[in-house]
Structures are given as structure tokens and as C-alpha cells.
Amino acid sequence: MINGYPLNTAAINSAGGSTDIDPVDPTPIDPPPPLPDPTQPDPSTPAYPGFPPIDAPEGYSLPWTVHISLGGQDVTDFLTETVRVDRSEGAAGMAEFSLFYPVGTPVPLDLHDGPVVIVFTSRGVQQLLFTGWVTRPSWHAASRVMRIIATDRLQQRVEAMSLADIEALTGGLYSPDVFTDEIEDHWRYAQDRLSTRPVSLDCDTHGNMRVTNWQSKKHPDYTFNPGSTVYQSVDVRLAQPTETTNRVELTIKYRYPRLWQASATFGWVHPGTGGFGGMQGFCAWRPDSTELPTIDMYLSAVGSTGLTPVSASWHLLPPSMGDPCGNGQPWINNQSELLILGGSVVARRRWVQQVTEEYTVTLATAAGEPEQSRVVSRSSINASVDFGESWPNSLRPYQYSPSGGAGIGPGTPTTPVTPGDHADEPRRQLAFNTALNKARTEIIEAHRRTQVSWQVPTALIAGVDLVHTLYLDDQNTVAQGKCVQRLDELNIETGSALATLTIAILREASGVADPLSVPARMGADESESAGVMSRSYTLGTQLGGKFTSPEYDDELDGFSGNYDAKQDATLEVFPRRFSATGPEIPDARTDEHVLTAAEKTIRVAFTGDLLEI
């Protein structure tokens, strides 16, 4: 199967032979009965004195008529010169004919919307050759001949369809990363989808659009037996080796954001509390009280690390009370600043790191593997997931709200996303599948450029269409393939009515085919793909004013201050400050991260059509 659509019942990219769903006996095309022998002249009595007797004529007689309606009016009586109907695979059907209008006969002028129907009749059998509309009328005043060119308006009708209807009609795959994300041309959109399948879009003789597979059937629909084709009309056009692409090299770069979030918890508890919280900790600290930090000092220190505080909990000094510790001593709190005995702050930083995954995938037939026989086509695809622009600014900074020291939780993020890789895997899969199927279709198309054509009386091929598989065994040529063109030429002057049939010959690509598998995303296996860094810090305390006080350390994180009751005026006074150091973020987690996959080769193989010359 190609992209989930049956070509026949065997995949065109398989080494096995094709089969028919329901084999049907083909319709044979044989020569018609010869002309009856005329009365033989008497050799002794020449028809013309002085001349030898005339030999009896040999050949075939196929009387025919053609009927053409234009805008609902029968214009058959005005036909002159040649009627041509050309229907080709993947293109709009076209018809050309000429109408002679004697002097005094009204000549129609409004022809642009006139429907055209052409019917051929011979030996009591009717063939609908064409249904369409006038596209280009032209008038030759001297000869009084109206030349009409009509088409089935394939392109215009597709252009008028919605994208959803085109998708339903053509099937196939479409990735904005492979083609374009701004679809303005609906016909181009249809062609892009078709380029991922070995199929063509055209119309039948009624003007109905249909998609037909390139794969010929194992059993032909029509066989052309010896003597059925016009003498010396068989033509074999061989594909040029330099045009037969057997290797497609794809370079795919897929770029996506990795959203990082570094989280750190900064905890500090005054040693004078004995590790207790609430009133018990306050009462433990009060007998030997010290300077204390404020909430603002704490938050400012954490903010200086490059992280944003998002939540916190505090051990605040209690408000003024008569006897908070039960020792008969009142407590008066006149501080306008919010002094604390301890606290815990959660702070975060968010940033975006770009990850680029680079893949080199080659699709090749057996002939496309050796360097000396390669016919290479190359394609590059660059895809980028635009996401996470607001991620670095999506944190809601913590703001203290008086609540008796109760913690205040983080605000709701402005961007409802989580850290980690945002690779949009469905998009990556679609881009790869589209590129792979397009590349394989390109190889298949290049291998069916050999064509065989021949002429046969139109009267003998009623029903032959572009969907059929034709078999030829005549004029030292044996061939079988799918019909890609039918050109009917009906000469009103000479009575000749011939059709030129052309089939495409798919040349074999031997070997065993590989499935079109999408490489796994490399970044998914990295531990960094979660985008999370987490640390906890316990901040220290250094207090001056006692003989037991340590030497002041300017680099020690945490709180620095002094005891309220200094033991001696000569003792060093420590500065009152609060400091913190956050986690160091390595460049490897901020600079663009490039991952390169090992080169991969996918083998392409399919059976070919019959051609013997």
C-alpha cells in the first residue's frame, strides 16, 4: 500500500507481483472483417483501353458519425476539418473542432459558458468522447470558420473547491513544513497532496473528477491482437537514463523549544529559636534577642540570584502582647518593618532553549546505491515549532500579604504550559511522512517515463479509458501498462477516425523494499528533555557582639547581624544584611542544542510492466 491507498492489491514498493482483485477476461481488440471482394473485372477487357486491369481494393470499412452539441444546440451539420479529443493522465481533457457557417447563417457569439458534448457512433455503438465547456472560441472571417477549444475545466473546478473537499478527493498527505503554510492556490494544494501518492487526478468522459492509480493490473482490461493497430503506428519512447531518478536524499532539520524551569527553595531559621516555630520559637529567642532580617531583605536577596520568588512562608515576630511567654514580661512590637525569625522562599527561573534535530534520510533503489549509477535528487526541509515566547515572563512574582505569617501560595501562571520539550510530535511525524512518501513517489514517477503508443480506429475501442490496463501484441512489440493518454482525431474531410493510445511502462526496481519509518525523536531520550532543575538551600546565620562570635565571613550566605546586648564595645560589629546564591545554569542548557542522527537509507523496490521489442 502507498499511504494507505490500494494501488492494486500489492504495494508498488514491494518486490512481490501485483494481482487483480477480481480477474476479468480482457476485451480483445481484433481487426474488423475485411471489405467484401468487388466484382472482378474481365482481364481480357480492360476498364480503360491501354491500361492494365485494376486490382481489387483491400482493407476495412468502418463507417462512423460524430455528433457535437454546443450550448444545447446540435452543431454537427457545421463541422469541418478535424475533431480532436485529447484526454491525458493528470491533465484537463481538451477538445478542438471547427464549425463552418455559410453566409446568412446566424453565428453564436456567447459561447464561454456553453457545454460541449461529443459523441462518436460506429456500427451502432455510441461512445461518449468528451463532456466539457468552451474555453477559447476564435472566428476566421475570411473562411467563416469558428474554431472551438473546450476543456473539462479540471483546474478551475478544483480551484473552486474547499480544502476539505480537495483532501477528500485526492487523499495523500500535506505538511506545511514540506510545502507551505499559506495556501492560496487550491490547484497547487491538490497537486502537492497528489505528489505524495502514485496517482493522478483527471476526469472521465462525463466530466466527473476521479483519482486513478499508476499501477497497472496483472490482467489487462483490453488486449490489442496482431493486425489490430494501424500499420507503422507503434512508437516506443524510452526513458532517458539521466532522467530516471533512483535516489532521493532528504535533509530534514526539525527545531523546537525546550522550556526550562529552575526551582530553588531558600530556607532560613534563626538559631535562637531552637528550631521551634510560632510562639515557642519566639520565647526561646527573646531572652538573648538579636537583630533580625525583614521580609524585604529576604526577598531581595533571593531575587538577586536571578530567580523570581513565587511563594513563601514566614515566622514573624508577634504583635504587642501583655505576657506572651508566661513570665510576666510584656512584649511591645513597634517595628514598622516585618521582622522575621525564619522563612522559606520558593523561587524560579524560566527560559527557552532551542533544540535542533538533524536527519539525513536517503531513499534509493538497488541501482541508486552504487555511486557510479546514481541519478540523485536532493531536498531540504527546515521546520521550526514556534512556541514558548511568553514562557520566560510567565511567572507571577510573590507579594507578601499580611496574614499572621501564613504562607501565600503561587499565583496562576499566565501561560498554562509545563516545562520540557514542546516538539509537537504529530507535526514532526506528518512532516517526515509527507517527505518520505513524496520522495518515493518521485522515484516511481521517474521509472514510468518509458511510453508505448499506437493508433487504432476509434470505432474499435469503445470504452477504453485512462483507468484501464492495455496489452499490445502487434508489429513486433509486446507491452502492457496503464493507459496515460487517449487522443481521438476525426477527420471530417477524409473520413479517417483514428485514436492514438499511449501506455506508461513502469520499469522494475529490484530488491526488497523497506517500510517508510519515521526516525525516533532524539531529544526524547535525554534526561534534560523534562526541562526541570531543582535545588534546596539552607541559609546560615552569623551574629556579632559576643566573645564567642565567629570572625565575620563576607561570603557566607544567609543573615548577618548582632546581638542586642553587646558583651564589649570593642567587639566587631557585623553588618546587617541578608544574602543568597542561586543555582548556576550551564551554557549547555541555554545555548542552542543540536542533535545529529546517523544517516539512514530506505530501500525502494517495485515490480515493473511488460515491454518486449
Residues 205-225 pLDDT 10s: 999 999 999 999 999 999 999
Q: Which of 274, 294, 293 is nearest to 284 (CA)?
A: 274
> What are the respective helix, strand and coil percentages of the chain, to the nearest 5?
15, 35, 45
Question: For residue 338, what pLDDT is reported?
Answer: 87
Q: What is the pLDDT of residue 415?
A: 47
Closest Cα partner for 440 from 372, 503, 517, 521? 517
Q: What is the secondary structure of 532-555 as a DSSP string? A: EEEEEEE-EEEEESSTTPPPP-TT
The confidence score (pLDDT) of residue 264 equals: 96
Question: Do residues 499 and 459 make contact, with C-beta atoms less than 8 angstroms apart?
Answer: no
Per DSSP, the three-state class of 104 is coil
217: Cβ–Cβ under 8 A, 6 or more apart, which residues?
8, 18, 20, 469
* Residue 64: CB atoms within 10 Å: 17
Cα 249 from Cα 474, distance rounded (Å): 41
Read off the C-alpha cell for 468.
484501464
Residues in Cβ contact with 350 at an 8 Å cutoff, skipping those fewer than 6 apart: 259, 260, 261, 262, 391, 392, 394, 395, 419
Angstrom distance (rounded) from CA 186 to CA 536: 57
What does the block give as the cell for 404? Answer: 499572621
Contact between residue 503 and residue 479 where contact means Cβ atoms under 8 Å apart: yes
The three-state secondary structure class of 529 is helix
599: its cell numbers: 544517516
Total Cβ atoms within 10 A of residue 527: 6
pLDDT tens column, 293-343: 999 999 999 999 999 999 999 999 999 999 999 998 999 988 767 899 999
pLDDT of residue 262: 95
Q: How far apart are CA 317 and CA 334, in angstroms?
A: 11
Of 140, 134, 139, 146, which Cα lies nearest the Cα of 94? Answer: 134
Distance of CA 260 to CAs 354, 417, 530, 590, 593, Å? 10, 11, 8, 9, 13
Residue 188 φ/ψ, nearest 5 degrees: -65, -40
379 CB-side CA count, 13 A: 22
Integer Cα distance of 111 and 146 in angstroms: 11
Neighbour tally for 357: CB within 10 Å: 22
Q: What is the Cα–Cα distance from 389 to 587, expressed in whole angstroms?
A: 20
- The C-alpha cell at 37 is 471482394
Query: What residues in the chain have per-residue pLDDT under 50?
Result: 1-22, 39, 404-415
Show me where the domains of the chain are located: 62-152, 241-446+508-539+582-613, 541-579
Q: Contact, 473 vs 234, CB < 8 A? A: no
Amino acid letter for position 376: V
Residue 216 CA to residue 12 CA, distance in Å, equals 10
Pick the CATH number of 62-152 from 3.30.9.60, 2.30.300.10, 1.10.287.3510, 3.20.20.80: 2.30.300.10
Instruction: Please say whether the beta carbons of 245 and 442 come within 8 A.
Output: yes
CB atoms within 10 A of CB 1: 12
Give dist(CA 157, CA 163) in Å, integer. Answer: 12
Return the SS3 of 242. Answer: helix
